[in-house]
Amino acid sequence: MKIIKVDHVGIAVNSIDIGKNFWSDILGLPFEGDETVAEQKVKTAFFPVGESEVELLESTSPDGPISKYIEKKGEGIQHVAFRVDDIDSALAELKQKGIRLIDEKPRKGAGGAKIAFLHPKSTNGVLVELCER
């Protein structure tokens, strides 16, 4: 398994329209539009920062994972995503090492990426996303 870089940090927000004020208007990060990922019940917006990005996540449904997260913990950092060169072999290797996987197989994320989440119980409480682009 090869981790290439921190791909992005995912931040749960009530509203991308309001949330982007800080990231784009105040910090000056470029806002490149948003994208809805229907199967995850989420709308996302990416803000490039050097080699990485900030991802804002807004729920599109009250029963979506981001709604549930905000209900429990409020807005804030929800996951850290690492880019890997080969997500299928990374998942196989982690599973073999006893890491609990939320996604046994990669699914489709924003921007056509292949993504998969690792369970926080195996990662010191951090929701870790792997992505391959």
CB of 133 to Zn ion, least distance (A): 12
- Please work out the total of residues on this chain that contact Zn ion, with binding judged by CB under 5 A: 4
Task: Choose the stretch contacting Zn ion; rule: CB under 5 A; options: 32-40, 51-59, 63-71, 98-106.
Answer: 51-59
How much helix, strand and coil, in percent to the nearest 5, is found in the chain?
30, 40, 30
- Which one of residues 10, 67, 69, 94 is an interface residue with Zn ion (CB under 5 A)? 10
Report the C-alpha gap between 71 and 69 in whole angstroms: 5
Q: Among residues 11, 13, 54, 81, which is the contact residue for Zn ion, using CB under 5 A? A: 81
Distance of closest approach, residue 12 Cβ to Zn ion, in angstroms: 11
- Shortest reach from residue 9's CB to Zn ion, in Å: 8
10 has which bridge partners? 55, 79
Task: Quickly tell me which residue has 């309001």 as its tokens.
Answer: 18
Give the nearer residue to Zn ion in terms of CB position, either 60 or 96: 60
Task: Specify whether the CB–CB gap between 5 and 82 falls below 8 A.
Answer: yes
User: Could you give the CA distance from residue 81 to residue 89 in angstroms, rounded to a whole number?
Assistant: 17
Quote the least distance from Cβ 91 to Zn ion, whole Å: 16
- 65 belongs to the binding site for Zn ion (CB under 5 A): no
Minimum distance, C-beta of residue 100 to Zn ion, in the bound complex (Å): 19
Beta strands in 2-132 (DSSP E): 3-12, 34-37, 42-49, 52-59, 76-84, 107-108, 114-118, 128-132
The residues binding Zn ion (CB under 5 A) are: 10, 55, 81, 129
